[in-house]
């Protein structure tokens, strides 16, 4: 979910999924929480509030919305996605970049919808490779659902690292384009410098040498 940075002593950013009515709040210190069945008006009022911490205590915390804290892996996923979007925005081959794009109201948002080299492209972004065949097939099924809405779109599964040749063959037969670390390094060769001092840079800098970044997990 895309979050908006805010000015507050204890809240770093706030996001909202209108289709699912999920309010997401990042607190200083790294904690990210999702609150469920929150009206969009509450999200808007929080953004407009002069004291967001106080608004949170009075209108969200005391309202006792159901919530959960996202795991560190979930956080890595959001963080990784945001860096990919930043590189897309600096790459002239990408246009009309739409993070968290809603294809259909009863369908999960696609991570990024865009135009890549003039072709409509739908990108599903994962923070780790699919380590099992079942996980890969689940990702493929998710992308194929999107193709029912936009049958002419190019479908892309993007992740850091690599996977076994068998998995690449499955993706190819399913008409899924795989952007792994090596492919990402090729596409964003001029933009990777933007990540040099970020926590995700290490996921790419070995890729041009063809080194699997997750050698012990590749064939699980």
Please provide the DSSP assignment of the chain as one string.
Answer: --EEE---SSEEEEEEETTTTEEEEEETTS-EEEEES--HHHHHHHHH-S-HHHHIIIIIITTT--EEEPPHHHHHHHHHHHHHHHHHHH-TTEEEEEEEE-SSTTSPPEEEEEEETTEEEEEEE-SS---SHHHHHHHHHHHHHHHHHSTTSEEEEE-SS---HHHHHHHHHTT-EEE-HHHHHHHTTTTGGGGTTSTTGGGTTTGGGT--S-TTTTT-
* pLDDT given at position 72: 57
Q: Is the pLDDT of residue 128 over 60?
A: yes
Question: Please, are residues 125 and 100 in contact by the beta-carbon 8 Å criterion?
Answer: no
pLDDT tens across 50-69, in order? Answer: 889 889 989 998 888 888 87
Residue 123 pLDDT grade (very low, low, confident, very high; cuts 50, 70, 90): very high
Q: Is the pLDDT of residue 168 over 60?
A: yes
> Considering the chain, what percentage of its residues have pLDDT values greater than 70?
85
Q: Is the pLDDT of residue 159 over 70?
A: yes
Q: Is the pLDDT of residue 45 over 90?
A: yes
* pLDDT given at position 214: 37
Q: What does the pLDDT average to over 5-32? A: 85
* pLDDT given at position 74: 57
* pLDDT given at position 105: 62
* pLDDT given at position 195: 81
CA distances from 181 to 171, 185, 196, 207 (A): 16, 6, 15, 5
pLDDT higher at 106 or 124 = 124
Give the lowest-confidence range in 127-131, 147-151, 171-175. Answer: 127-131
Closest CA to 98 of 90, 89, 87, 106: 89
Domains located in the chain, CATH noted:
3-69 (no CATH), 90-209 (3.40.1350.10)
Residue 100 pLDDT grade (very low, low, confident, very high; cuts 50, 70, 90): confident
pLDDT higher at 127 or 43 = 43
* pLDDT given at position 30: 58
* pLDDT given at position 75: 55
**For the whole model, what pTM was predicted?**
0.63
Question: Please, are residues 128 and 136 in contact by the beta-carbon 8 Å criterion?
Answer: no
């Amino acid at each position: 979910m895309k979050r908006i940075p805010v000015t507050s002593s204890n809240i770093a950013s706030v996001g909202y999924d209108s289709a699912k009515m999920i309010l997401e709040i990042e607190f200083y210190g790294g904690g990210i929480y999702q609150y469920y069945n929150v009206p969009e008006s509450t999200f808007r009022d929080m953004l407009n509030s002069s004291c967001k911490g106080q608004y949170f205590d009075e209108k969200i915390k005391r309202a006792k919305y159901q919530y959960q804290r996202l795991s560190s892996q979930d956080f890595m996923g959001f963080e990784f996605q945001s860096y990919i979007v930043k590189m897309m925005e600096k790459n002239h081959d990408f246009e009309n970049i739409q993070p968290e794009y809603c294809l259909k109201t009863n369908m999960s948002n696609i991570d990024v919808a865009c135009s890549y080299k003039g072709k409509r492209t739908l990108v599903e972004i994962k923070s780790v490779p699919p380590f099992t065949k079942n996980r890969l097939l689940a990702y493929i099924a998710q992308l194929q659902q999107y193709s029912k809405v936009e049958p002419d779109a190019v479908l892309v599964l993007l992740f850091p690292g690599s996977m076994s040749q068998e998995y690449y063959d499955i993706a190819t037969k399913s008409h899924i384009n795989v952007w792994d670390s090596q492919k990402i390094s090729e596409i964003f060769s001029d933009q990777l410098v933007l990540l040099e001092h970020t926590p995700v840079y290490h996921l790419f800098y070995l890729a041009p040498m063809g080194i699997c970044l997750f050698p012990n997990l590749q064939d699980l």
